């Protein structure tokens, strides 16, 4: 078999093949050598194609999480984007009042593995350990930072720091002081949403925790027109440890 003749016969339509064929020896080779050469050629082409496909078909690498904030009272105002890493204990979280906080993160399926609600109870010696648990759950820094900010001081002190007046100074609400809370994440489309809330009376967990003041952190799966709980974390606030912490995971909807 003549390699140059075969190349021109079957590949001559390709641009540049005629010029390249000049470098192929113009002599006959045995069928065995030709077959080995063909197998090697196909293997090289196949591996190259696989490598290219892997490069272009792989999911995009996740970049650093960013947070976009704008004032809900001024919808035409400028949207400002910050790196999530900047939200630490030094940030003044009272600035987030009346703001919409959005970010898009890859949704982790942190549902219950058993198909039923799963409850884990912890007793931490430091509040920092609660925040480490939130970090292990893939919670954005802005959410963890706001939870820590809400934990610093009595309910009345934090309420005044956030709203500018005390909980009992509101004329439109009587009785139990309202909660302090913020929503984080996508507003209406599919994605992940978090809520952080400080409650003076955590009624839904009273059977687990002997306390009346605590922080809730909710993770929710948001779909168009529907929202499902993924997990909720509650930790009690008191003057001394241990800090009772409850993590509830919910089954996939």
Q: Pick from 22, 40, 57: which residue ends a domain?
A: 57
Residue 217 is encoded by which pair of tokens?
A: 């952190």
Q: Is the pLDDT of residue 183 over 80?
A: yes
User: Do residue 106 and residue 72 come from a single domain?
Assistant: yes
Q: What is the mean pLDDT of residues 186-209?
A: 68
What integer pLDDT is reported at residue 141 of this predicted model? Answer: 93
The band of 17, judged by pLDDT with boundaries at 50, 70 and 90, is very low
User: Do residue 11 and residue 88 come from a single domain?
Assistant: no
User: Do residue 82 and residue 18 come from a single domain?
Assistant: no
User: Do residue 70 and residue 50 come from a single domain?
Assistant: no
Per residue in 37-63, pLDDT (tens digit) is 544 444 433 444 444 333 333 334 456
Domain that holds residue 12: 3-57
Residues 6+ apart with CB under 8 A from 8: 17, 18, 21
User: Do residue 20 and residue 134 come from a single domain?
Assistant: no
Q: Is the pLDDT of residue 67 over 70?
A: yes
Cβ–Cβ under 8 Å, residues 34 and 1: yes
What integer pLDDT is reported at residue 119 of this predicted model? Answer: 93
What integer pLDDT is reported at residue 201 of this predicted model? Answer: 63
Cβ–Cβ under 8 Å, residues 194 and 110: no
Distance (Å, whole) CA 185 – CA 220: 10
Cα dist from 33 to 2, 26, 67, 106, whole Å: 11, 15, 62, 52
User: Do residue 152 and residue 109 come from a single domain?
Assistant: yes
Q: What's the total number of domains in the chain?
A: 2
What is the pTM (predicted TM-score) of this model?
0.68
**Mean pLDDT of all residues belonging to the chain:** 74
């Amino acid at each position: 078999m003549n390699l140059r003749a075969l190349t021109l016969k079957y590949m001559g339509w390709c641009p540049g093949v005629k010029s390249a064929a000049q470098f192929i020896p113009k002599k006959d080779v045995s069928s065995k050598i030709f077959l080995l050469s063909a197998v090697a050629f196909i293997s090289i082409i196949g591996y190259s194609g696989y490598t290219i496909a892997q490069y272009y078909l792989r999911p995009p690498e996740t970049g650093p999480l960013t947070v976009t904030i704008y004032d809900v009272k001024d919808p035409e105002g400028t949207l400002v984007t910050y790196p999530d890493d900047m939200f630490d204990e030094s940030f003044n979280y009272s600035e987030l009042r009346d703001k919409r906080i959005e970010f898009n993160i890859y949704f982790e399926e942190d549902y219950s593995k058993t198909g039923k609600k799963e409850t884990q109870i912890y007793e931490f010696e430091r509040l920092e350990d609660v925040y480490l648990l939130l970090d292990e759950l893939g919670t954005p820094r802005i959410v963890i930072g706001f939870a820590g900010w809400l934990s610093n001081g009595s309910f009345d002190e934090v309420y005044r720091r956030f709203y500018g007046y005390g909980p009992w100074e509101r004329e439109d609400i009587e009785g139990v002081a309202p909660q302090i809370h913020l929503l984080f994440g996508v507003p209406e489309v599919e994605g992940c949403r978090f809520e952080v809330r400080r409650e003076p009376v955590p009624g839904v967990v009273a059977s687990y925790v002997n306390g009346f003041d605590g922080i809730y952190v909710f993770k929710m799966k948001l779909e168009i027109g529907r929202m499902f709980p993924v997990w909720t974390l509650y930790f009690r606030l008191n003057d001394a440890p241990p800090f009772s912490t409850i993590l509830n995971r919910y089954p996939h909807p």
